[in-house]
Amino acid sequence: MRRKYFIVLGVFLLVSASGCIEMDDEGDFAGFMGIGEPEEIAVEEISISAEPTLYNVDSGQENTVFFDIENRGNITVEDVDLHVFDMPHFVDDGKEKEVGELEPGMAESWEWDFVAEEVDSDRTSNIRYRLGYVSEAYAEHSVTVLSYDEYLTRQDEGDLEADLRYAEKETSVDIELGFSQSQPFVEDEDFLLSFRFENVGDGSVQGQVFEEGSVTLSYPTEFLDLMNDCQGVMDINDGEAVLDEELYFYEGQTSEVSCRFEVETEQDLTEDVFEISAEYKYIVDDYFVLTVES
Q: Where in the chain is the domain with CATH 2.60.40.10?
A: 45-134+283-293
- What is the share, in percent, of the chain residues with pLDDT greater than 90? 77
CATH of 10-43+135-280, one of 3.40.1000, 2.60.40, 2.60.120, 1.10.20: 2.60.40
User: What long-range pairs does 149-157 form, CB within 8 A, spacing at least 24?
Assistant: 149/268, 150/268, 150/269, 151/184, 151/186, 151/187
Residue 35: band (very low, low, confident or very high) from pLDDT cuts 50, 70, 90: very low
Mean pLDDT of 263-291: 95
The alpha-helical segments, DSSP class H, found in 122-271 are 148-157
Angle at 16 between CA 277 and CA 77, to 5 degrees: 30
pLDDT digits (tens, 9 = 90+) for 161-181: 888 888 889 999 999 888 999
Which pLDDT score is estimated for 162? 85
Q: Over 90: is that where the pLDDT of 266 sits?
A: no
Angle at 177 between CA 34 and CA 16, to 5 degrees: 20
Q: Which CATH superfamily is domain 45-134+283-293 in?
A: Immunoglobulins (2.60.40.10)
Which pLDDT score is estimated for 3? 33
pLDDT digits (tens, 9 = 90+) for 168-225: 899 999 998 889 998 999 999 999 999 999 999 999 999 999 999 999 999 999 999 9
Mean pLDDT of 241-249: 96
Neighbours of 245 (CB within 10 A): 13
Q: Which residues contact 286 (CB under 8 A, 6 or more apart)?
A: 5, 7, 48, 50, 128, 129, 131
Q: Over 60: is that where the pLDDT of 9 sits?
A: no
Which pLDDT score is estimated for 32? 42
For residue 149, which phi and psi values (nearest 5 degrees)? -65, -40
Which pLDDT score is estimated for 41? 85
Amino acid occupying residue 60: G
